[in-house]
Amino acid sequence: MARKRPVVVVTRKLPEVVEARMMELFDTRLNDSDAPMSRDQLREALMTADVLVPTVTDRIDAALLAHAGPRLKLIANYGTGVDNIDVDAAYKRGITVTNTPGVLTEDTADMTMALILAVSRRLVEGERLVRSGAWQGWSPTSMLGHRLWGKRLGILGMGRIGVAVARRARAFGLSIHYHNRRRVHESLEEELEATYWESLDQMLARIDILSVNCPHTPATYHLLSARRLKLLRPHAIIVNTSRGEVIDEAALTRMLRNREIAGAGLDVFEHEPAINPRLRELPNVVLLPHMGSATIEGRIEMGEKVIINIKTFVDGHRPPDRVLPSML
């Protein structure tokens, strides 16, 4: 790129230390309001920027990319998932796409275990009972949940986060089962004492807890369909810290209402920030505002990766976290 200080448009407010570093290195245009950009604002950004730094809330589809100006050569996504970007359309227009893999692994795995505990032991229900003033004291049969020790955890997607979840779950006495596009290395299976299921359907019918850790792609949209959800046993719970689109949310809500599934812990939703009102009414569901990766350390590390990707690209080299259509 000809410009020594490329115009970098950032679509959301980032940690101050990240923004300060970007201002030092680039001609950076910040979003001080932190409100998601409208489609018109995104279109203007695409027309004027050398580099766009979007987040999961920005839908950069083919129709929007058609308005990209000739200067736009890099979309440096602030996040690991790139399902918000039409990577294929960007690639065809000669626009490089990068992401921030790896930095959110431990944070998301922590939140997954927190949700497994919260749903299994009914932590949110208990907290609400105390706050309401309705708690009358200890009782042998009050607020009974289920122990984790000895239960079967099924992990859908055994990537970095899935493996991190498995390592934590082992410490809680859970037996590890997983379904993945590819079987993990034998040494990792041995370390985790993990059982691989080539058939997702067969795994779902045999587990007590399901953790969704696969990305959202066209192939995983509604991977957990109504038919597959019905394979789960009535005492099973589901935890999703990946993407809401992987689950048929309407079907899940119906089954939770009918107690065909015991409970769910959801940090992501199919149409977020909109949430099915019926889902919000259910006592057997823990709902979080997409905060699985929300740690100060994680957000700063994400920003550092974005800066490295931009700096490397501007210097004429291939950025370390380049995403290609074949990688999705």
Residue 111's Cβ-side half-sphere holds a number of Cα atoms within 13 Å equal to 25
Give the burial string for 220-232 (b: 16+ CB within 10 Å, else e): beebbeeebbebb
| Mean pLDDT, the chain, whole residue set | 95
% of the chain residues with pLDDT over 70:
98
Give yes or no: 146 in active site.
no
Q: Which of 71, 152, 254, 290 is catalytic?
A: 290
In angstroms, rounded to a whole number, what is the distance separating the alpha carbons of residues 159 and 195?
Answer: 15
At CB < 8 A and 24+ separation, what contacts does 57-63 make?
57/11, 57/12, 57/84, 58/11, 58/12, 58/84, 59/84, 60/84, 60/85, 60/86, 60/90, 61/86, 61/89, 62/86, 62/89
Tell me if residue 127 is catalytic: no
Entry pTM: 0.89
| pLDDT digit string, tens, across residues 17-63 | 999 999 999 999 999 888 999 999 999 999 999 999 999 999 999 99
* 263 burial type by CB count under 10 A (0-12 exposed, 13-18 middle, 19+ buried): buried
Taken as a whole, the chain contains a residue count of: 328
The single residue of 243, 270, 299, 301 carrying the catalytic annotation is: 243
**Of the candidates 82, 75, 57, 87, the residue with the CA atom closest to the CA atom of residue 306:** 75
- Secondary structure element (H or E) that encloses residue 286, with its range: strand 285-287
Both tokens assigned to 41:
């604002």
Q: Strand, coil or helix: what is 211?
A: strand
Q: Which of 228, 272, 304, 322 is catalytic?
A: 272
Domain extent listing, the chain: 7-102+295-327, 105-287
Q: Do domains 7-102+295-327 and 105-287 have the same CATH topology?
A: yes
- Residue 221 to residue 305: CA distance in whole angstroms: 28
233-288 residue pLDDT tens: 999 999 999 999 999 999 999 999 999 999 999 999 999 999 999 999 999 999 99
- The answer to whether 272 is a known catalytic residue is yes
Query: 105-287: which CATH topology?
Result: Rossmann fold (3.40.50)
CATH classification code of 7-102+295-327: 3.40.50.720
